[in-house]
Amino acid sequence: MLDQTTIAVIKSTIPLLESAGPALTQHFYQRMFSHNPELKDIFNLAHQRSGGQPLALFNAVAAYAKNIDNLGALTGAVERIAHKHTGFLIQPEQYHIVGSHLLATLKELGGSAVTDEVLEAWAKAYGVLATIFIGRESEIYQEKARQAGGWQGTRLFTIQEKRAESELITSFVLTPSDGQPVLAYQPGQYLSIKLTHPTLEYQEIRQYSLSDAPNGRDYRISVKRETQGQVSNLLHDHVQVGDHIAVMPPTGDFYLQTDRHTPVVLISAGVGLTPMLSMLNQRLAEPSDADLTWLHACEHGALHAFKEDIAAKCRQHPRLVSRVWYRVPAAGDQQGQDYDFSGTMTLAAVSERIDPKAHYYFCGPLGFMQGIKQQLLQAGIPTEQLHYEVFGPHQDL
């Protein structure tokens, strides 16, 4: 572990990091991609252009510096990032590349404040962190490989079914091309797919939540078409039934963790319903008398995915209650039939379903989740009963 002198030096650089802000990590990524362009086949370049990934990395670096003497506080973040890394097949040797560019960035941007002592301290600190990640990721790779239906690296899957769920969301059912069983997963986890195509400049890796309960035979992902999304548009427009896709084992640290006797409230907006569907279908398959609540928000009926599926489940399962918000109902949308409330989601409208004993899982746009978290905290729900997933680079709510 780190000695007290190194810890003191790292903490002394916190003002430098904060003054640089995300510009530090933007410079880091530009430098790394310039010197190691092969990494463009791994990183999601859309998140680079949006600034989401540099911001997420800056927050992680700053958090590491601030907790350098209490690494236990970072356990949750390490677990989340390690799962993400295995979804991109990150290997130990790539940590050396990242470390060299991180130190060079500090030297180039820090000026005279970044002395040899500072660089040596950060080299030691990065080495400790890299060892932690390499160890945990190795464990995850091995766990996935040795379980029934498991594998390491990529495995070829065939598009068995392609189905439009709304104007923007399409589901893809993937079956293993080798005909063998598939690895089980926790409801809420995601699948990583690797794509190459003449329309893509680089190999692209994307992660999509699994949108059904595990069955040992196949996987289902449900993908929203993004206006500027190269991969989502490729999947919607070009990938067809019978095509093959390289798939990594399912992973992720966001999943249903309550026992079947605990009330659960699943809250989503837009395509954020995908991990909720996996949780819902798993929970409905289990014997339970606990309340199960489905709260969903979308723009209008044409964008309301899985509407008939949820309605059918409510008819089959009396303990399941669904409430839906349309932000701007279309002319043909009928309140009481297609949706329950107009406008944005307000939990006060369903106060009878806000159980202090329940656990709450939510996913959707960042602003939506921030609002939901605030409403739940105001309703007296303890933080430890709130669970959420951010699509893309992680951000705290």
| 3-state secondary structure (DSSP) of residue 217 | coil
- Is 208 annotated as a binding-site member? yes
Kindly state the greatest CA–CA separation across the chain: 69
- Is 271 annotated as a binding-site member? yes
Catalytic residue among 95, 219, 255, 326: 95
- Is 274 annotated as a binding-site member? yes
- Is 170 annotated as a binding-site member? no
Q: At which residue do the structure tokens 């180039």 appear? A: 108
- Is 275 annotated as a binding-site member? yes
- Is 353 annotated as a binding-site member? no
| 3-state secondary structure (DSSP) of residue 211 | coil
The amino acid occupying position 287 is P
- Is 177 annotated as a binding-site member? no
Half-sphere exposure of 236 (CA within 13 A, CB side): 19
Task: Supply 2's token pair.
Answer: 């780190």
Residues 327, 376, 81, CA angle at the centre, nearest 5°?
90
- Is 234 annotated as a binding-site member? no
Task: Supply 51's token pair.
Answer: 């600034």
Catalytic residue among 137, 165, 204, 389: 137
Cα gap 241→163, rounded to integer Å:
10
- Is 206 annotated as a binding-site member? yes
- Is 19 annotated as a binding-site member? no
| 3-state secondary structure (DSSP) of residue 55 | helix
| 3-state secondary structure (DSSP) of residue 334 | coil
Cα gap 151→183, rounded to integer Å:
8
Sheet holding 155-164, edge to edge: 204-209, 190-195, 244-251, 155-164, 169-176, 219-224
Active site annotation includes 204: no
Could you tell me the CA-to-CA distances from 274 to 10, 171, 223, 297, 385 in Å, in that order? Answer: 41, 10, 9, 13, 20
Q: At which residue do the structure tokens 């669970």 appear? A: 387
- Is 392 annotated as a binding-site member? yes
Active site annotation includes 286: no
For residues 125-146, one letter each, b for 16 or more C-beta atoms within 10 angstroms of the residue's C-beta and e for the rest, the string is: bbeebbeebbebbeebbeebee
The secondary structure of residue 210, as a DSSP letter, is B
**Please, what is the end-to-end C-alpha distance for the chain in angstroms?**
31
**Cβ neighbours, 10 Å, residue 369:** 22
- Is 85 annotated as a binding-site member? yes
Annotation: binding site: 85, 190, 206-209, 270-275, 390-393
Annotation: binding site for heme b: 85
Annotation: binding site for FAD: 190, 206-209, 390-393
Catalytic positions: 95, 137
Annotation: binding site for NADP(+): 270-275
